[in-house]
A = this chain, B = another copy of it.
């Protein structure tokens, strides 16, 4: 593959001149510029991004760490980042790491080896200290979907407590008095936060959420069925189900329907996230919109901005609040 040197020789100019042309640098005669460009064309010259990153001490790429690409949620996240990357003419270096501490760590470390200084990270398993450390080393380190007070200005996150509260309040406002909850058994903050919000709303309404009305399982369709089964075996005395996410909600609906319990006539269901599936399943899912794509875009912009040398402001953070999307799975009782 042709190098800058080849171009220089072939064009009869110096390395420096070619370099200037490549980078649209100033101080180069229009005539030579055209000539050099032509030679570049002929030789099929492409700048070596590695050499460039080495000498400039910065990598133009934008690093992204996600847990699991297959999950539509992360796909949307990646897409949000991708849009911004393209607009900024920046390449994405993507590292998927599954929800395991080891691989998540490794994903970030690999990105560091490429010296990417802009990075959007989705990490649920690494502890605060580790993340704060990374932030100290990488100027454009931005967390998505997580809040850490010490680096609040690098966090783009969703207010899950409010989200939980909203979904419960909405169900209550529609006349439901007996609520069941199906939650995730992953040991991360999100389920707890959403649950806390739900409890707040129920308490505020002067009602009680019995422990046996909460089912825990993996946060997917299968888990939704499982958790729903568990709750049903304890009690059938509820008119609405609040799910941890849309996948669980869909699973719960499937199970209810399999048992000839009509959704939403007999039991209403509400999801969380508003992934594509929410529009596809029957009945269409009433859910909480998690604006992950917009958030991801924001995170990417932030990462690029910080990496460019702009100092993060103090006392800011990027909090988003979910909103109710009314569809067909929850009706007034």
Chain A interface (Cβ < 8 Å from any Cβ of B): 1, 46-51, 53-54, 59, 61, 68-72, 74-76, 78-79, 82, 86, 91-96, 103, 109-115, 137, 221, 250, 257, 276-277, 279-282, 293
Q: Which residues of B contact A86 (CB under 8 A)?
A: 96, 103
Q: Which residues of B contact A59 (CB under 8 A)?
A: 50
How far, in whole Å, are A282 and B253 apart by their CA atoms in the complex? 11
How far, in whole Å, are A245 and B49 apart by their CA atoms in the complex? 39
Copies in the complex: 2
How far, in whole Å, are A322 and B184 apart by their CA atoms in the complex? 34
| A112 and chain B: residue at smallest CB distance | B46
Q: Distance (Å) between the CB of A50 and the closest chain B CB?
A: 4
10 extra interface residue pairs, beta carbon distance < 8 Å, beyond A48-B113, A51-B54, A68-B79: A1-B137, A48-B54, A48-B115, A49-B114, A50-B54, A69-B82, A70-B75, A72-B276, A92-B94, A282-B282
The answer to whether A96 touches B79 (Cβ under 8 A) is: yes
Q: Which residues of B contact A91 (CB under 8 A)?
A: 93, 95, 110-111, 114
The answer to whether B279 touches A280 (Cβ under 8 A) is: no
A49 CB contact (under 8 Å) in B48, B75, B113, B293? B113
Q: Which residues of B contact A95 (CB under 8 A)?
A: 91-92
Interface centre among A59, A86, A113 (most CB of B within 10 A): A113
Given A82-B69, A103-B86, A279-B221, A49:B92 Cβ within 8 A: no
Q: Which residues of B contact A46 (CB under 8 A)?
A: 109, 112-113
List 17 A-B residue pairs with CB atoms under 8 Å apart, sorted by A's residue number. Answer: A46-B112, A48-B113, A49-B114, A50-B114, A69-B75, A70-B75, A70-B76, A70-B293, A74-B75, A78-B96, A86-B96, A91-B111, A92-B93, A221-B279, A277-B277, A280-B281, A281-B281
Q: Distance (Å) between the CB of A129 and the closest chain B CB?
A: 14
| A133 and chain B: residue at smallest CB distance | B44
Given A46-B109, A280-B250, A280-B280, A96:B82 Cβ within 8 A: yes
Q: Which residues of B contact A276 (CB under 8 A)?
A: 72, 277
A277 CB contact (under 8 Å) in B47, B112, B137, B280? B280
How far, in whole Å, are A95 and B94 apart by their CA atoms in the complex? 9
How far, in whole Å, are A115 and B282 apart by their CA atoms in the complex? 47
Q: Which residues of B contact A68 (CB under 8 A)?
A: 79
Q: Distance (Å) between the CB of A295 and the closest chain B CB?
A: 15
A70 CB contact (under 8 Å) in B50, B79, B113, B114? B79
| A111 and chain B: residue at smallest CB distance | B91
| A257 and chain B: residue at smallest CB distance | B282
How far, in whole Å, are A257 and B282 apart by their CA atoms in the complex? 10
How far, in whole Å, are A59 and B137 apart by their CA atoms in the complex? 24
The answer to whether B96 touches A92 (Cβ under 8 A) is: yes
Q: Distance (Å) between the CB of A320 and the closest chain B CB?
A: 19
How far, in whole Å, are A79 and B78 apart by their CA atoms in the complex? 12
Q: Which residues of B contact A280 (CB under 8 A)?
A: 221, 250, 277, 280-281
